[in-house]
Amino acid sequence: MIIGQIENGIVLDHITAGRAMEIYDVLHLGELDCTVAIIKNAQSEKLGRKDILKVYDVIDLDMDILGYIDPGITVNIIQNGKVVERRHLELPVRVENVIRCKNPRCITSVEPGLKQVFKLTDRVRGVYRCIYCDTQAK
- What would the pLDDT profile of 108-130 be if each residue is shown by its tens digit? 988 988 999 999 999 999 999 99
pLDDT at 1: 46
Query: Domain range spanning residue 121?
Result: 94-137
- Average pLDDT over the chain, rounded to whole? 90
pLDDT digit string (tens) for 54-112? Answer: 999 888 888 888 999 999 899 999 999 899 999 999 999 999 988 899 999 999 988 98
Residues 110 and 53 in one domain: no
Q: Is the pLDDT of residue 38 over 60?
A: yes
Residues 15 and 35 reside in one and the same domain: yes
How far apart (Å, rounded) are the C-alpha atoms in residues 119 and 4?
A: 39
Structural domains in the chain (count):
2
Predicted confidence at residue 4, as pLDDT, reads 65
- Domain containing residue 105: CATH number: 2.30.30.20
Evaluate whether residue 1 is within a structural domain.
Answer: no
> In this model, does residue 138 exceed pLDDT 80?
no
The answer to whether residues 82 and 129 belong to one domain is no
Residues 82, 15 share a domain = yes
> Are 54 and 79 within one domain?
yes
- Examine the fold and report which residue of 88, 103, 120 is the final residue of a domain before the chain moves on: 88
Using CA atoms of 50, 55, 61, 63 in order, give the dihedral in degrees to the nearest 10.
20
The answer to whether residue 41 scores a pLDDT higher than 60 is yes
Distance, in Å, from the CA atom of 49 to the CA atom of 122, rounded to the nearest integer, reads: 27
Are residues 12 and 77 in contact, defined by beta-carbon separation less than 8 angstroms? no
- How far apart CA 129 and CA 80 sit, in angstroms, is 42
Q: Do 74 and 98 have their domain in common? A: no
List of residues 6+ apart from 86 with CB closer than 8 A: 74, 75, 76, 77
Instruction: Give the mean pLDDT of 31-53.
Output: 88
Domain membership of residue 4 (yes or no) is no
pLDDT at 2 over 70: no
pTM comes to: 0.80
How high is the pLDDT of residue 3?
A: 60
